Amino acid sequence: MRKAFVILLLAGLSVPAALNAQKQRFPWWEGPRAKSLDLTDAQNAQIRTTVAEYRDKLRDQRAAVNKAEADLEAIFNEESVDQKQANDAINQLAAARSELFKTTSQMDLRLRMVLTVQQWQILQAQQRPGRGPGPPRRRGPGGPVSKSPIVGSAVTKQ
């Protein structure tokens, strides 16, 4: 009886793991989305070249953001918080995030320049499920309008 319980328990744990493995997230240029865009060989080459050019810089900037977040968290967790030190850490984090956002946006722009208008519209619709083409909508009464759905998206996740 106990052996059967252990087997059922292990089987139950392996099913979610298998499902998660099937739901791998790919950058859009490597996954099913790229196939739906019907990219040419030249476009694929340009996309891969662009991503390769930005990969190291983005990795370094993500590491800088993570370090700045950890530094700020450590300061906040101290028994006595030094306000100047905390403000410096906040400024470091803001600067690191700003640089990462700027680099990501520059890469996104270069990737956009490779796509046709139709491919861009398809990609936007895929990245915003439930939305068709058209202008962005407000996120509630007086809420912000999303101007760039690709910035900070799967484009930057590798």
What is the per-residue pLDDT for 127?
A: 79
What is the per-residue pLDDT for 31?
A: 77
Whether 36 shows a pLDDT value over 80: the answer reads yes
Output the CA–CA distances (angstroms, integers) from residue 138 to 129, 133, 151, in the order listed.
Answer: 16, 15, 17
pTM to 2 decimals?
0.63
**Is the separation of the CB atoms in 116 and 59 below 8 Å?**
no
Whether 123 shows a pLDDT value over 90: the answer reads no
**Which amino acid belongs to residue 90?**
I
Q: Report percent pLDDT > 70 for the chain.
A: 64
Continuous H helices in 77-133: 83-114, 117-127
Whether 77 shows a pLDDT value over 80: the answer reads yes
Q: What integer is the mean pLDDT of 1-7?
A: 46
What CA–CA distance (Å, rounded) separates 39 from 116? Answer: 9
DSSP 149: T
CATH of 44-125, one of 1.20.1050, 1.20.120, 2.60.40, 3.40.50: 1.20.120
What CA–CA distance (Å, rounded) separates 37 from 29? Answer: 9
Tell me the Ramachandran region of residue 3: left when phi exceeds 0, alpha when psi lies from -120 to 50, beta otherwise.
alpha
Q: Which stretch of 13-27, 80-94, 107-121 has the lowest confidence by average pLDDT?
A: 13-27
